[in-house]
Structure 1
Amino acid sequence: MRLGVIEGDGIGHEIVPPTRLLVDEALAVVGAPKVEWVPLAMGHSAIEEFGAPLPEQTLTALDDVDGWIIGPHDSASYPQEHRRGTPPGGVVRKRFGLFANVRPARTFTGLRSVASQMDLVIVRENSEGLYADRNMFAGAGEFMPTPDVALSVGVITRAASERIAHTAFRLARGRRKHVTIVHKANVLPMTTGLFRDVCFEVAQGYPDVRVDDEHVDAMAAHLVRDPSKFDVVVTENLFGDILSDLAGELSGSLGLAASLNCSDTTAMAQAAHGAAPTIAGHNRANPSALFLSAAMLLEWLGDRRSDFLLTRASHRISAAVAGTFEAGTATADLGGLASTSTFTEHVLARIHRR
């Protein structure tokens, strides 16, 4: 198995290497073959070496790997000439058709959190919506006809809505068999109304899964009040981005916000948080989100290859992170005292436990 590994910017240099180590250890413990890692450049290091934040060499190399782990990018700090256009993460998602962004959120024993009980997954349509880098074949999705007027194009299609709905319902079948469709059809009846209606049509093919729907504003309130009522939440791009960040904070910190970007054939593990430049280099970053994202990647690969060793390795990583929290070890964003390296050592130790 060949996996790409991209450190990116900011805290990426502190959380990506231990994630790679964690994957190696988990695979070794369960008896799986070693990974062939393919280090690739992105961000400031790529600008220095190749003159671009996401060089063509990196994209070409990604064509030949089975999946990849990617750190955050800090495009706001790039030189002015490299801030224009689509950020590196968006370029990768678009080139490889990573239409599904799967973002779990749960509470952990031993951690303080706003939510008392939560174990849900937000399935976010990742290829269209109101995002300017994903809704036009050519040109920009945002434009200004005058200096005082700004417009944005939002795109919802039947095809994209169908495939993300199937992703959500298939996922729900392996969980608690409940899907909630989130939309804003009361004020956006043509766009988010189409999304809602197509999801309900797809639901007819999954009679064993309970389905309901919520307006996005009501959904935000329900998540704060009682997130335990939800299992799999499927929604369009912008709503999914906002709700998943909210759910991450409700679980204790965005440092827990794992994420998998995938198509039917390719997957990328990338934590939902950013590069956190203010703490970069201080050994304070929480690597949990990327650890859990890597576990999701192994599980995704295990499912598609029918390889139970990859699935077992995935579960070992997830259990080791949860066990570390339960034992009282956490980073500063979670109210703990552990550094990045100390937290990693504790998780690695638990990888080897039965």
Structure 2
Amino acid sequence: MRAATTPRLGLIEGDGIGPEVVRATRLVVDEALSASGVMPVDWVPLPMGLTAIAECGAPLPESTLAALDGLDAWILGPHDNAAYPPETRIAPGGVIRKRFDLYANIRPARAFEGVRATASDIDLVLVRENSEGFYADRNMFAGSGEFQPTADVALAVGLVTRAATERIAREACLLAATRRGRVTIVHKANVLPMTMGLFRDVCYEVAREYPTVRVDDLHVDAAAAQMVRAAAEFDVLVTENMFGDILSDLAGELAGSLGLAASLNCSATRAMAQAVHGAAPALAGHNRANPAALQLSAAMLLHWLGIRDGNEALRQAGARVDRAVAATLAAGIATADLGGLASTSEFTEQVCARVHRR
């Protein structure tokens, strides 16, 4: 086991409410590490988004990517690429995921005490294959998987490979083994028998390596309907990129709000905490944004670092953040999106206070 050494983490504020929720998350992480006996983080601030365009002429400067090359993990704020000039309209998160092969996107959804949820018994994790599928920025060696041969015709290429499917299926099975022991493969093999059929079949092949894990499968439309009707029946769902993006947003709303939807993008060696929600530019600068999703994402990041490094103190710090956010919500303290009256800073102060409680 490694000693509780000083973590070195990137800090990327992004656009809109990004600076507010990222700073709020930094405060909570620092408190949790202190309470767990870990030295304060060596934070490495890095530009991204509209600020980076103004300073460097690009939303994701090479200097930022080069700095990330030297880090094991980082916290990424939301981006508002729709507001970027046309010549720079990239999605920075997608570029980072592709560059560092962050192939697993882990998105939990659970109901919190004190939060009105559509599905009050939801407690699932969606494991999304993050490196291929139908998203045009992740499915070609060079160029884009979306293109127009004429002004009136648009085409998209979906990519599914055995290698990528094997590794995401293993992530899902390993996770299920620590939870309730069930994996549901979500696909659309009835109309995409080659791509989605390959995904489904390879997931089943990998699952045979985990005899304690029960496995079934559903078409994506049936999975969405079942999630609305009986979300508690799901434990871990594994699916391709676009389906995972859509279903995780649905799960987040069923759990109460996208303001609580945490997310971790990771490989075996690197990880990025990134909330599911967007930049909400209309809320920027008003101290009204909900920081809980990014704080819960940071808890996942600390847990991931603790597992990777065999560092129990980092795992404890992650658990402290998770428990403190849950306890704050259970006490009826919430931001406006959840029907509460707390500001971003007030909610964060309450979370920080609860981080120190056993």
Length-normalised TM-score, structure 1: 0.98
Residue in structure 2 matching 1:21, options 13, 27, 34: 27
In the alignment, is residue 76 of structure 1 matched against residue 82 of structure 2?
Answer: yes
Task: Provide the residue aligned with 1:277 in structure 2.
Answer: 281
Secondary structure at 2:26 match in 1: helix
Partner of 2:126: 122
**Equivalent residue number for residue 96 of structure 1:** 100
* Equivalent residue letter for 1:310: L
1:351 and 1:297 map into 2 onto residues whose CA distance is: 16
Paired with 1:280 and 1:249, the residues of 2 have a C-alpha distance of 22
Pick one of 202, 214, 222 that aligns with 1:210.
214
State how far apart, in whole Å, the 2-side matches of 1:15 and 1:80 are: 27
- Deviation of residue 91 (structure 1)? 1.0
Separation in structure 1 between the aligned mates of residue 120 and residue 66 of structure 2, nearest angstrom: 45
What amino acid maps onto 1:72 in structure 2? P
8 Å contact 2:113–2:330 — kept in the other structure? yes
Partner of residue 14 from structure 2, selected from 5, 8, 14: 8
Q: Which runs of at least 4 in structure 1 moved beyond 4 Å after TM superposition? A: none
Identify which of 65, 70, 84 aligns with 1:64. Answer: 70
**For 1:254-279, what per-residue CA distance to the aligned partner results, in whole angstroms no more than 9, with x for missing partners?**
00110000011100000011101111
Counterpart for residue 312 of structure 2: 308
Measure the CA separation in 1 of the matches of 2:39 and 2:213. 36
- In structure 2, how many angstroms separate the alpha carbons of the residues matched to 1:203 and 1:353? 39
Q: Which string of whole-angstrom CA distances, capped at 9 and with x for unpartnered residues, describes residues 82-101 of structure 1?
A: 11xx4211111111000000
**Hey, what's the Cα distance between the residues in 1 that align with 2:336 and 2:224?**
26
How far has the Cα of 1:66 moved from its partner? 2.1
Q: Percent identity?
A: 70
Within a 5 Å distance, the mapping from 1:212-291 to structure 2 comes to: 212-291=216-295
Aligned residue for 2:302? 298
Q: CA deviation at 1:69?
A: 0.3
For 2:354, the equivalent position in structure 1 comes to 350
Counterparts in 2 of 1:106-117, with a 5 A limit? 106-117=110-121
Letter in structure 1 aligned against 2:183: V
* Aligned with residue 188 of structure 1, among 192, 195, 206: 192
User: 1:116, 1:19 → 2: CA distance?
Assistant: 26
Q: CA RMSD in A?
A: 0.8
Q: Deviations over 1:281-322 (max 9, x none)?
A: 111111000000000000000001111100111010000000
Specify the code of the residue in structure 1 equivalent to 2:214.
R
Is the counterpart of residue 87 in structure 1 residue 106 in structure 2?
A: no
2: distance between equivalents of 1:34 and 1:110?
31
How far, CA to CA, are the matches of 2:178 and 2:122 in structure 1? 17
* Cα distance in 1, alignment partners of residues 347 and 20 from structure 2: 12
Letter in 2 for 1:250: L
What code does the residue aligned with 1:98 have?
L
In the aligned structure 1, how far is the partner of 2:231 from the partner of 2:278? 24
Look up the SS of the partner of 1:342 in the other structure. helix
User: What residue number does 2:151 align with?
Assistant: 147
Q: C-alpha deviations, 1:50-82, integer Å up to 9, x for none? A: 111111111111111120001011111112221
Q: Is the contact between residue 114 and residue 252 of structure 1 (CA under 8 Å) also seen in structure 2? A: yes
Structure 2 residue runs of 5 or longer lacking an equivalent are: 1-6
Q: Shift of the alpha carbon at 1:146? A: 2.1
The question of whether the paired residues in 1 share the 8 Å contact of 2:302 and 2:314 is answered with yes
Alpha-carbon distance in 1 for matches of 2:13, 2:149: 39
Aligned residue in 2 for 1:161: 165
State TM-score, norm by structure 2. 0.97
Whole-Å Cα distance in 1 between the matches of residues 176 and 252 of structure 2?
Answer: 20
| Residues 24 and 344, structure 2, Cα contact 8 Å, conserved in 1 | no
* SS of equivalent residue, structure 1 residue 151: strand
- Cα distance in 2 for residues equivalent to 1:25 and 1:336: 24
CA distance in 1, matches of 2:208, 2:144: 36
Q: What SS class does the counterpart of residue 226 from structure 1 fall into?
A: helix
- Contact (CA 8 Å) 1:112, 1:335: kept in 2 or not? no
Deviation at 1:49, TM superposition (A): 1.2
Residue 145 of structure 1: how far off its partner (Å): 1.9
- CA distance, structure 1, for counterparts of residue 215 and residue 23 of structure 2: 40
1:330 alignment partner in structure 2: 334
Aligned equivalents of 1:75 and 1:29: distance in 2? 37
CA distance in 2, matches of 1:226, 1:81: 45
The answer as to 2:46 corresponding to 1:34 is: no
Q: Which amino acid aligns with 2:104?
A: A
Matched residue pairs, number? Answer: 352
Distance 2:228 2:35 in 1: 39
